[in-house]
Amino acid sequence: MKPSEDFILSQLQRGFVADSPEQQKRFIQQTVLRMQRKSRQRMWVLGICSVVAILSLLLFFPLEPLVQVLSSQTLVAGISRSTLLLATLPVVVVGYVMILIENTR
């Protein structure tokens, strides 16, 4: 077939040709299965990364200020700003790491 200029342009303006119903059904099934597999992988990776992040923070972060603040029964107003900052830092960093992991996936 030797298509003319008009033919080509009219074909470009025509909508796409749909696959047969069986092919469409197969495509949907494959996509849903692939999505479910990806979600499971994602959950595993996120879970493992979170555990590693939390464990490393627990091991390497100075948690004593947090424990002291929680156990001292002092009002928040009575605690210095730097102590509060140090105490909340692990929580902030854990949150940040979780967001980073989630966004980079």
Partner 1 sequence: MSILKDWLNRFQQQRDSQSFAQVVAQCQTPLQGYCRRLTAGDMAMADDIAQETLISVYQQVGQLQNLDAFKSWLYRIAYRHFLHIQAKQNRWKSMTEQELEFALQQETGCGSEQQACEDERLVLQYMALLTHEERAVITLNHTLEYSHQQIASLLDMPLGTVKSHAKRGKDKLIAFSHRQQRGAA
Angle between helices 81-104 and 21-60 (to 10 degrees): 150
Q: Which residues contact 68 (CB under 8 A, 6 or more apart)?
A: 83, 87
Please report how close the Cβ of residue 61 comes to partner 1 at its closest, in angstroms: 31
What six digits make up the tokens of 37?
Answer: 């597999």
* CB closer to partner 1 out of 5 and 22: 5
Does 18 contact partner 1 by CB under 8 A? yes
Question: ∠28-40-37 over CA atoms, to 5°?
Answer: 30
DSSP state of 76: G
* CB closer to partner 1 out of 22 and 71: 22
Considering only residues 16, 22, 75, 80, which one is a binding residue for partner 1 as defined by CB under 8 A?
16
Please report how close the Cβ of residue 53 comes to partner 1 at its closest, in angstroms: 21
Residues that bind partner 1 (CB under 8 A): 1-5, 7-9, 11-19, 24, 27-28, 30-32, 34-36, 38-39, 42
